[in-house]
Amino acid sequence: MSADTLHFVVLIGSLRKDSINAAVARTLPSLVPEGVNVSFLGSIGDFPHYNADVQDEGFPEPVLKMAAQIKASDGVIIVTPEYNYSVPGVLKNAIDWLSRLSPQPFTGKPLAIQTASPGAIGGARAQYHLRQMLVFLDAFVLNKPEIMIGQSTQKVDPEKLVLTDAKTGAYITKQISALADLARRLRS
Ligand code: FNR
């Protein structure tokens, strides 16, 4: 691996075993452009409910581990469903935990968002709530290309649980290339 290789970490916003979003995420290693590799962060289901009293006793190990992996990365890709026109509570909980650390791991981090939904507009509304949180956390969220995968059940192999739609895959490659460009611009 060359010193110029960018390493992005992937955060999945669904805990579901057969998650469509996890299926999209699982396909990312085969879609990244040259000069980029990806690895997966742990499950946000391992985080307890955020409680400042628990924090006062010490940050839970899974939170510290994920924060260190984000800090060490060149960028983050969040792949998440939309719940009730917003982000799943479990993802908000994870962001709340990570946001309490100092240094805060999302600060200055290039970040791309992907959402997938069986519905028509592919989780677009969750993306804008997520962007709003990431403004406060001072991440550099990539504007375009936006990846909002509608009718997603038709684009994922239900057995293998990977993305099979080539057009969507090509858009994802474009988005990760744009994230890599952003990361290189921020680094220089
Ligand atoms: C949903 N779903 C959903 N879909 C959508 O496009 N907009 C929405 O606001 C919601 N709201 C919502 C709330 C809750 C509580 C659930 C459980 C589901 C449907 C959702 O997109 C669908 O279940 C996806 O398959 C969930 O993503 P994963 O787990 O397959 O990645």
Q: Is the pLDDT of residue 6 over 90?
A: yes
Q: In terms of pTM, does the model score above 0.85?
A: yes
Residue 140 near residue 74 (C-beta atoms within 8 A): no
From 131, 137, 143, select the one nearest 80 (Cα to Cα).
Answer: 131
- pLDDT score for 87: 98
pLDDT in tens, 113-125: 999 999 999 999 9
pLDDT in tens, 18-64: 999 999 999 999 999 999 999 999 999 999 999 999 999 999 999 99
Q: How far is the CA of 33 from the centre of ligand 1 (A)?
A: 29
- pLDDT score for 98: 98
Q: State if residue 127 touches ligand 1 by the CB under 6 angstroms criterion.
A: no
Q: State if residue 118 touches ligand 1 by the CB under 6 angstroms criterion.
A: yes
CA dihedral 102, 107, 112, 115 (to 10 degrees): 40
Residue nearest (by alpha carbon) to ligand 1 atom 7: 82
Q: How far is CA 41 from CA 25, 56, 58, 62, 63, in A?
A: 11, 24, 21, 10, 11
Q: How far apart are CA 148 and CA 116, in angstroms?
A: 6
Q: How far is the CA of 150 from the centre of ligand 1 (A)?
A: 11
Print burial letters for 25-35: b (CB count within 10 Å at least 16), e (below 16): bbbbeebbeee
Q: Using the structure block, give the residue that is written with the tokens 């791991």.
A: 105
Residue 70 near residue 106 (C-beta atoms within 8 A): yes
- pLDDT score for 1: 58
- pLDDT score for 3: 73
The secondary structure of residue 47, as a DSSP letter, is S
Tokens of 105: 């791991």
The secondary structure of residue 123, as a DSSP letter, is T
Judge if the upstream peptide bond of residue 48 is cis by omega within 30 degrees of 0: no
3-state secondary structure at position 14: coil
